[in-house]
Amino acid sequence: MSDESEKVVPKQELHTFVVRAMEAVGLQSDRGSVLADLLVSADYRGHYSHGLNRLDMYLNEIKSGTASKENKEPDIVKESAGTALVEGNNLIGPYVARFCMDLAIQKAKTAGIGFVSCRGSNHFGIAGWYSLRAMEQGFLGMAFCNTSPMMVPPRGTTRTLGTNPLSLAAPANNGDSFVLDMATTAVALGKAELKDRKGEPLPSGWTVDKSGHETHDFKNLHGLMPLGGKEESSGYKGYGLAMMVETFCGILSGGAFGPFVRQWKAFERPANLVSLLLFGQCFIAIDPSQFEEGFTDRMQTLIDACRDQPSADKDPVLVPGDPERNHMELCDKLGGIPYHENQITFANEIAATYKLAPMKTL
């Protein structure tokens, strides 16, 4: 059951609300539907930082002209049998990213692997949504995105790299799978925002103030720590992973990278500068049948070896993708997605701003 302070929203109700909101700022319904698919999936899988919580950002991207609502498509700048470079033309991020992953899947079907690097895109939401598209075809899927600089490197004071998420989805047997979907910062910024929205302090190892020192107060938040937190607890590893993502995305594509990516929610930038500051992304699809037979069996064996070991306490050992699977089962039992009452208030404020009917809850 959901907590008494939570409200349950049917998935289709959330989807319709997102499409209506994006139509209110002039985005075509087919592109709003792609965004809605992404946001519903994020919250259904339990990634609340990148679902409904991000709707206002996408609305502001379109309303301000930071992202284009023109009726055009991403362009393939150059390609080979297994690779492609894509120009996103400043379209809304999920629309560009879905195009790129579908292109990678198409190439994997013929070449065994598809590797697509993209520039000129915008925030694409949860990376796992794209890697799962490849996995649904029986492939391994990988997705990466550089983002607005929010990470302060170990020993530093300047926001230099983004949260730079990465994902790998790999199929196992009987619908089982390994689905890694993570930021290379200790947390995504949205998780800190949700803590603030709920009136809770920030945990240790998440954020730093302007002096580069740890803070637990959202009002003092200047930047995010890399995965691992402080240097002595291996923060340099998350820092290195973030630079790897920059290499695949901004560096390889010829797009913006590192501190030169548009600042977070900087919607006021002049249109003629936007193309130089947009996000880069990378998508990989791999056909495991081009390698040794029995991939899903071996993947399942590894998953089982992790899950089936004795636990240190009463909680079972999980593999990446299990928390999401558990959350989806909860949503299915509830008949929708449970939201904290403050998140519903947030959605109602959006509805009032754009003169929309509010979402219906169960």
3-state secondary structure of 316: coil
Closest CA to 199 of 179, 218, 174: 218
What gap in Å lies between CA 16 and CA 33, rounded to an integer?
8
Q: Which residues pair with 6 in a beta bridge?
A: 340
DSSP string, 178-216: EEEEE-SBSS-HHHHHHHHHTT-PPPTTSEE-TTS-EE-
Sequence-distant (6+) residues with CB within 8 A of 313 are none
Identify the weakest region by mean pLDDT among 63-67, 215-219, 326-330: 63-67
Mean pLDDT of 296-300: 98
* Average pLDDT of the chain to the nearest whole number: 93
Query: Which two tokens mark 56?
Result: 């206002």
| pLDDT value of residue 262 | 83
pTM more than 0.95: no
Residue 274 has pLDDT above 60, yes or no: no
Could you give the angle at the alpha carbon of 102 between the alpha carbons of 79 and 183, nearest 5°?
100
| pLDDT value of residue 1 | 45
Domains and CATH numbers, the chain: 1-64+321-361 (1.10.1530.10), 77-183+234-320 (3.30.1370.60), 187-224 (3.30.60)
Tens of pLDDT along 248-266?
999 999 999 999 998 876 6
Residue 89 has pLDDT above 50, yes or no: yes
| pLDDT value of residue 226 | 97
Whether residue 184 contacts residue 166, with contact meaning beta carbons closer than 8 Å, is answered with yes
pLDDT band at 278 (very low <50, low <70, confident <90, very high): confident
Burial class of residue 33 in the structure, from the number of CB atoms within 10 Å of its CB (0-12 exposed, 13-18 middle, 19+ buried): middle
pLDDT band at 3 (very low <50, low <70, confident <90, very high): low
| pLDDT value of residue 78 | 97
Identify the weakest region by mean pLDDT among 111-125, 179-193, 236-250, 258-272: 258-272
| pLDDT value of residue 270 | 35
Query: Which two tokens mark 158?
Result: 């300047």
Q: What is the DSSP letter of 91?
A: B
CA-CA-CA-CA torsion for 94, 95, 96, 98, nearest 10 degrees? 80
Query: Please, where are the H alpha helices in 68-227?
Result: 93-111, 128-135, 189-197
Structural element, H or E, at residue 292: none
Measured in residues, the chain has a length of 362
Residue 128 has pLDDT above 50, yes or no: yes
| pLDDT value of residue 263 | 80
| pLDDT value of residue 188 | 83
Q: In what order do the strands lie in the sheet with 75-79?
A: 75-79, 83-87, 113-121, 279-286, 140-145, 166-171, 177-182
Tens of pLDDT along 15-71?
999 999 999 999 999 999 999 999 999 999 999 989 999 999 999 999 998 899 999
Residue 269 has pLDDT above 60, yes or no: no
What gap in Å lies between CA 105 and CA 87, rounded to an integer?
18
Distance of alpha carbon 50 from the chain centroid: 6
Residue 275 has pLDDT above 60, yes or no: no
Sign of the Cα torsion 319, 321, 323, 325 reads negative
Closest CA to 94 of 25, 45, 40: 40
pLDDT band at 276 (very low <50, low <70, confident <90, very high): low
